[in-house]
């Protein structure tokens, strides 16, 4: 499997090749701080095995050493800031006039090589992700209303059918690797179905195949050509829905009074499908891991004391799928938690660190009873309002269906043998092997 450390963060700006422009941004911005700059003294490289296996330890020590906002070095020693505090992440995401989303504002573009590993996530694209102000409201408004039209019962029904089909493929064997054959396979199909391509059809399966390659390439895959095919298929979908609209997200986006162009709808549909994929897949997998390894959930899970809902929520607090999100760019010189932030500086949202900020958990115990975590971010660019509910329907159905169909499922390895993917952006396992009594339907 190709190690795509880094790029696999929350909602990618669309899978595939970098289309970033190193052009100077709309806000200009002062030339960047050289890596030796005093403001980045003691900067922590945001990479390495410490992040992989035990990021919370590292966030704790960064907080102790640097406070709520730490100087960091991204791949290749590029300076940026990691916001670790709950109040500070809320402040940054709530002030898009100060911390904006258009990456062309970055003061480091002259240092960034075209093949920089994070380029797929910072390279500007004319999608909702990098839009600002009124343009963002227009694009995000269309997505929000189109997603609001998804019937949650129907989505639950589709998700159940997809889950059953995926389980049927391995149920007879008594063992499975749930990351690839279940957790990753399910949300993509559910998202494609929401957009108007019925799951299981040849077209939908081809799209799912190419999306998988472009978002998470394995050895021998060609993510660039796969992404070109994704674009072509979505363009065809948009054309078809223009002439024959249906009860789906694509048709609602096309019919919205904001009158997005076909090109805009294509860009934003790819964003929606890609954004639904990795975070929801990791949410499913991290929840299954918790259920299968934590005795509070007392497996066999069917007789467990705590519910699937509690496990899903606990994961959002403690093992959130999008642990760090890049990012925001300072519009002008400003201060944050006593740090001097300069115009054009890159600010990374430390969502996992913020969720476990001792300021909000002064007694040290993380309660996880409510949903005030920042796993879906906050403010103007947060995960658009209906999306977390839809992700919850998909994730809950995935977990409950698996436990119902394979009631004696247990881990296929010792818990200590499970390893996390080497990404500082997404929190997810490399694999989740399980065993169960074979079932034939
Ligand atoms: C049905 C599933 C989902 C859909 C359709 C979806 C869609 C989106 C979209 C379109 C955006 C871009 C918003 C914008 O820039 O205005 C976004 C942002 C985001 N989403 Fe989701 N998402 C889904 C699931 C999830 C899950 C499960 C998580 C994590 C638990 C998540 C976390 C985020 C985060 C952290 C952002 C970035 C917000 C920011 O920039 O502040 N999403 N999502």
Residue identifier of the C-alpha nearest atom 10 of ligand 1: 272
List 283's β-bridge partners, or say none.
none
Whether residue 19 is predicted with pLDDT greater than 50 in this model: the reply is no
CA of 394 to the centre of ligand 1 (A): 14
> Which pLDDT score is estimated for 401?
97
Residue 401 beta carbon below 6 angstroms from any ligand 1 atom: no
- Reduce the secondary structure of 306-338 to three states and give it as a string: CCHHHHHHHHHHHCCCECCEEEEEECCCEEECC
CB-ligand 1 contact for 285 (6 Å cutoff) = no
Three-state DSSP at 346 gives strand
- Residue 297's CATH number: 1.10.630.10
In a domain, residue 10? The reply is no
Tell me, yes or no, whether 97 lies in a domain.
yes
Given the CA of residue 394, which atom of ligand 1 is nearest to it? 1
Q: Determine the structural domain holding residue 63 and report its residue range.
A: 40-435
Task: Tell me, yes or no, whether 20 lies in a domain.
Answer: no
Half-sphere exposure of 440 (CA within 13 A, CB side): 0
Structural domain contains residue 349: yes
**Which of the listed residues 141, 347, 383, 426 should we mutate to test ligand 1's pocket, taking the one with most ligand atoms within 8 A of CB?**
383
327-377 confidence digits (pLDDT tens):
999 999 999 999 999 999 999 999 999 999 999 887 777 766 788 999 999
The reply to whether 272 falls in a domain is yes
* Residue whose CA lies nearest to ligand 1 atom number 26: 279
Q: Is residue 201 part of a domain?
A: yes
Domain assignment present for residue 12? The answer is no
Q: Which atom of ligand 1 is closest in space to residue 268's alpha carbon?
A: 10
Q: Do residues 286 and 278 make contact, with C-beta atoms less than 8 angstroms apart? A: no
Lowest mean pLDDT among 6-10, 127-131, 215-219, 376-380: 6-10
Segment 191-202 mean pLDDT: 91
Residue 303: its pLDDT value, please? 53
Which tokens hold the place of 223? 């993510």
DSSP-based three-state secondary structure for 40: helix
User: Which atom in ligand 1 lies closest to the alpha carbon of residue 272?
Assistant: 10
The model's confidence at residue 298, banded by pLDDT at 50, 70 and 90, is low
Task: State how many domains the chain has.
Answer: 1
Question: Is residue 271 over pLDDT 80?
Answer: yes
Ligand 1: centre distance to CA 350 (Å): 15
* Residue 6 belongs to a domain: no
- With a 6 Å cutoff on the Cβ, whether 140 touches ligand 1 is yes
Contacts 24+ apart (CB under 8 A), 244-247: 246/196, 247/149
């Amino acid at each position: 499997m190709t190690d795509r450390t880094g790029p696999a963060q929350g909602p990618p700006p669309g899978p595939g090749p970098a289309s970033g422009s190193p052009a100077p941004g709309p806000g200009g911005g002062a030339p960047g701080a050289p890596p030796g700059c005093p403001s980045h003294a003691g900067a922590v490289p945001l990479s390495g095995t410490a992040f992989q296996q035990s990021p919370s330890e590292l966030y704790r020590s960064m907080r102790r050493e640097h406070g709520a906002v730490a100087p960091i070095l991204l791949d290749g020693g590029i300076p940026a800031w990691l916001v670790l505090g709950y109040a500070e992440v809320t402040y940054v995401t709530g002030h898009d006039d100060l911390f904006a989303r258009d990456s062309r504002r970055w003061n480091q573009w002259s240092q960034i090589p075209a093949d920089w590993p994070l380029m797929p996530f910072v390279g500007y694209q004319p999608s909702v992700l990098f839009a600002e102000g009124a343009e963002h409201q227009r694009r995000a408004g269309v997505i929000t209303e189109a997603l609001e039209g998804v019937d949650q019962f129907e989505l639950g029904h589709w998700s159940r059918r997809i889950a059953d089909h995926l389980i049927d493929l391995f149920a007879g064997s008594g063992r499975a690797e749930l990351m690839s054959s279940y957790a990753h396979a399910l949300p993509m199909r559910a998202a494609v179905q929401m957009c108007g391509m019925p799951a299981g059809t040849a077209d939908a399966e081809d799209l799912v195949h190419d999306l998988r390659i472009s978002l998470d390439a394995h050895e021998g895959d060609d993510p660039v050509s796969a992404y070109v095919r994704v674009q072509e298929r979505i363009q065809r979908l948009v054309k078809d829905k223009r002439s024959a609209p249906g009860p789906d997200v694509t048709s609602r986006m096309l019919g919205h009074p904001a009158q997005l162009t076909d090109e805009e709808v294509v860009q934003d549909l790819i964003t929606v499908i890609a954004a639904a994929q990795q975070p929801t897949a990791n949410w499913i997998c991290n929840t299954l891991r918790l259920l299968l390894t934590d005795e509070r959930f007392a497996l066999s899970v069917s007789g467990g004391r705590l519910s699937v809902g509690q496990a899903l929520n606990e994961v959002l607090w403690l093992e959130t799928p999008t642990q760090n999100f890049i990012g925001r760019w300072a519009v002008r010189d400003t201060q944050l938690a006593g740090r001097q932030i300069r115009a054009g500086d890159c600010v990374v949202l430390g969502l996992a660190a913020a969720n476990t900020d001792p300021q909000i958990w002064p007694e040290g115990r993380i309660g996880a009873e409510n949903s005030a975590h920042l796993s879906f971010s906050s403010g103007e660019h947060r995960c658009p309002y209906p999306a977390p509910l839809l992700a919850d329907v998909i994730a809950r159905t995935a977990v409950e269906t698996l436990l119902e169909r394979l009631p004696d499922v247990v881990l296929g390895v010792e818990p200590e043998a499970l390893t996390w993917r080497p990404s500082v952006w997404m929190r997810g396992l490399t694999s989740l092997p399980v065993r169960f009594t074979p079932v034939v339907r």
